[in-house]
Chains A and B, each alone.
Chain A
Amino acid sequence: DTAVSQTPKYLVTQMGNDKSIKCEQNLGHDTMYWYKQDSKKFLKIMFSYNNKELIINETVPNRFSPKSPDKAHLNLHINSLELGDSAVYFCASSQAGTSGGVYEQFFGPGTRLTVL
């Protein structure tokens, strides 16, 4: 009954490689997010999709490309990995409040990416 799941949980790779992280939510939410948590635990939003449409695109290198095949999935593809990409990446989802109100975000367990 996992709400927000991510695969893989750990990812170790060499510089220059291309890798993907997958995220799925079974909560029926219409909005999904990617966050990056650095070594000092600071959380920063990278992208947000609402109904498969890109809504938030922060200042992130264009080596990072999100893809949302449907409302329940948001994948993150990273090209030409660099040492500085090492971090924990969290996927989250929420349901937009169309008539007012703010709904909390539900987070996945994270993917720890280590670039060697």
Chain B
Amino acid sequence: AQSVTQLGSHVSVSEGALVLLRCNYSSSVPPYLFWYVQYPNQGLQLLLKYTSAATLVKGINGFEAEFKKSETSFHLTKPSAHMSDAAEYFCAVTNRKGSTLGRLYFGRGTQLTVWP
């Protein structure tokens, strides 16, 4: 079975500061990992995904994440926070390569607040 743990339900940073959102996964087979962002009253939008190619993945809006198998982690970072980054961020895992199921297991989310 797969699961995701997001450490810290709330993260606050100042504008211009480094953003670090933590995600650890549990999977008995090689995982595929995703980060989604949810702005208030909106659906989820994909930020980036890891599917066993490069371990450092770059996404939209300046975000990137690094897959570390030894640490079972997939932390999301951005060098400089912007006010518009304030949102809920979800890490998700699946491992059904080639499967039609595509079942995603989500973490409980991390609310990012950016202070001016």
Interface pair B102/A48, CB less than 8 Å apart: yes
CB-CB under 8 A for A56 and B108, given A4-B43, A102-B94, A107-B45: no
Contact of A100 among B41, B46, B98, B109 (CB under 8 A): B98
| A92 / chain B contacts, CB cutoff of 8 Å | 44
Min CB distance, B110 to chain A, in Å? 10
- 18 additional A-B pairs beyond A97-B97, A104-B49, beta carbons within 8 Å, are A31-B100, A41-B108, A41-B109, A42-B106, A42-B108, A43-B109, A44-B106, A55-B100, A56-B101, A90-B43, A92-B44, A94-B102, A96-B100, A96-B102, A98-B98, A99-B98, A102-B94, A108-B43
Give the B-binding residues of A (Cβ under 8 A): 4, 30-31, 33, 40-45, 48, 50, 55-56, 90, 92, 94, 96-110
